[in-house]
Amino acid sequence: MLVDYSKNRITEETLAKLQDLAKECDLAGAIKSMFSGEKINRTENRAVLHVALRNRSNTPILVDGKDVMPEVNAVLEKMKTFSEAIISGEWKGYTGKSNH
Protein backbone atom coordinates (compact mmCIF):
# COMPACT_ATOMS: atom_id res chain seq x y z
CA MET A 1 0.00 0.00 0.00
CA LEU A 2 1.31 3.42 -0.92
CA VAL A 3 0.09 6.36 1.09
CA ASP A 4 1.10 9.92 0.28
CA TYR A 5 1.52 11.24 3.80
CA SER A 6 2.04 14.78 2.54
CA LYS A 7 -1.60 15.01 1.46
CA ASN A 8 -3.29 12.98 4.18
CA ARG A 9 -3.60 13.28 7.91
CA ILE A 10 -2.55 9.85 9.11
CA THR A 11 -2.92 9.35 12.83
CA GLU A 12 -1.78 6.34 14.82
CA GLU A 13 -5.41 5.23 14.88
CA THR A 14 -5.71 5.53 11.10
CA LEU A 15 -2.50 3.58 10.58
CA ALA A 16 -3.68 0.85 12.96
CA LYS A 17 -6.98 0.59 11.07
CA LEU A 18 -5.15 0.37 7.74
CA GLN A 19 -2.94 -2.38 9.14
CA ASP A 20 -6.01 -4.24 10.43
CA LEU A 21 -7.64 -3.92 7.00
CA ALA A 22 -4.50 -5.26 5.31
CA LYS A 23 -4.56 -8.29 7.64
CA GLU A 24 -8.29 -8.83 7.16
CA CYS A 25 -7.88 -8.77 3.36
CA ASP A 26 -4.77 -10.99 3.53
CA LEU A 27 -2.69 -8.38 1.74
CA ALA A 28 0.50 -10.27 2.60
CA GLY A 29 -0.90 -13.39 0.92
CA ALA A 30 -1.94 -11.41 -2.15
CA ILE A 31 1.54 -9.89 -2.43
CA LYS A 32 3.10 -13.34 -2.09
CA SER A 33 0.78 -14.66 -4.81
CA MET A 34 1.71 -11.77 -7.10
CA PHE A 35 5.45 -12.27 -6.67
CA SER A 36 5.21 -16.04 -7.08
CA GLY A 37 3.56 -15.75 -10.50
CA GLU A 38 0.11 -16.97 -9.53
CA LYS A 39 -2.74 -16.04 -11.87
CA ILE A 40 -4.22 -13.18 -9.88
CA ASN A 41 -5.43 -11.19 -12.90
CA ARG A 42 -8.92 -12.66 -12.83
CA THR A 43 -10.12 -10.76 -15.89
CA GLU A 44 -7.48 -12.30 -18.16
CA ASN A 45 -6.81 -15.39 -16.02
CA ARG A 46 -3.08 -14.82 -16.01
CA ALA A 47 -0.21 -13.73 -13.80
CA VAL A 48 0.58 -10.05 -13.43
CA LEU A 49 4.06 -9.82 -14.86
CA HIS A 50 4.86 -6.17 -14.19
CA VAL A 51 6.67 -7.46 -11.10
CA ALA A 52 9.02 -9.35 -13.44
CA LEU A 53 9.90 -6.07 -15.19
CA ARG A 54 11.09 -4.65 -11.87
CA ASN A 55 12.86 -7.83 -10.72
CA ARG A 56 16.44 -6.58 -10.82
CA SER A 57 17.60 -9.36 -8.49
CA ASN A 58 16.78 -11.92 -11.21
CA THR A 59 14.93 -14.04 -8.69
CA PRO A 60 13.05 -16.64 -10.74
CA ILE A 61 9.40 -15.80 -11.31
CA LEU A 62 7.56 -18.95 -12.24
CA VAL A 63 4.40 -18.90 -14.33
CA ASP A 64 2.91 -22.33 -14.96
CA GLY A 65 6.19 -23.80 -13.71
CA LYS A 66 8.37 -21.84 -16.16
CA ASP A 67 10.79 -19.08 -15.16
CA VAL A 68 9.79 -16.02 -17.21
CA MET A 69 12.85 -13.95 -16.26
CA PRO A 70 15.10 -15.01 -19.19
CA GLU A 71 12.44 -13.86 -21.67
CA VAL A 72 11.75 -10.65 -19.71
CA ASN A 73 15.47 -9.84 -19.57
CA ALA A 74 15.85 -10.48 -23.32
CA VAL A 75 13.04 -8.03 -24.09
CA LEU A 76 14.45 -5.43 -21.68
CA GLU A 77 17.85 -5.75 -23.40
CA LYS A 78 16.22 -5.21 -26.83
CA MET A 79 14.47 -2.12 -25.46
CA LYS A 80 17.78 -0.80 -24.11
CA THR A 81 19.57 -1.40 -27.42
CA PHE A 82 16.77 0.30 -29.36
CA SER A 83 16.70 3.28 -26.99
CA GLU A 84 20.46 3.71 -27.17
CA ALA A 85 20.34 3.60 -30.99
CA ILE A 86 17.76 6.40 -31.02
CA ILE A 87 19.68 8.51 -28.49
CA SER A 88 22.99 8.09 -30.33
CA GLY A 89 21.48 8.97 -33.70
CA GLU A 90 22.35 5.54 -35.10
CA TRP A 91 18.65 4.75 -35.64
CA LYS A 92 17.37 6.37 -38.81
CA GLY A 93 13.78 7.18 -39.62
CA TYR A 94 11.93 6.63 -42.89
CA THR A 95 13.74 9.55 -44.52
CA GLY A 96 17.14 8.14 -43.62
CA LYS A 97 17.73 10.92 -41.12
CA SER A 98 18.38 10.39 -37.44
CA ASN A 99 15.58 11.20 -35.06
CA HIS A 100 17.65 13.74 -33.13
> Domain for residue 64, yes or no?
yes
Q: What's the pLDDT at 1?
A: 66
> Domain for residue 34, yes or no?
yes
Burial status of residue 52 (CB atoms within 10 A of its CB: 0-12, 13-18, 19 or more):
buried
Question: In whole angstroms, what is the distance from residue 43 CA to residue 58 CA?
Answer: 27
> Domain for residue 58, yes or no?
yes
Number of domains comprising the chain: 1
Contact 30, 40 (CB under 8 A): yes
Question: In whole angstroms, what is the distance from residue 46 CA to residue 37 CA?
Answer: 9
User: Residue 93: which pLDDT band, with cuts at 50, 70 and 90?
Assistant: confident
Question: In whole angstroms, what is the distance from residue 100 CA to residue 82 CA?
Answer: 14
Q: The whole model's pTM is what?
A: 0.64
Domain range for 79 is 12-88
Q: What is the mean pLDDT of residues 48-70?
A: 90
> Domain for residue 47, yes or no?
yes
> Domain for residue 55, yes or no?
yes
> Domain for residue 61, yes or no?
yes
> Domain for residue 41, yes or no?
yes
> Domain for residue 28, yes or no?
yes
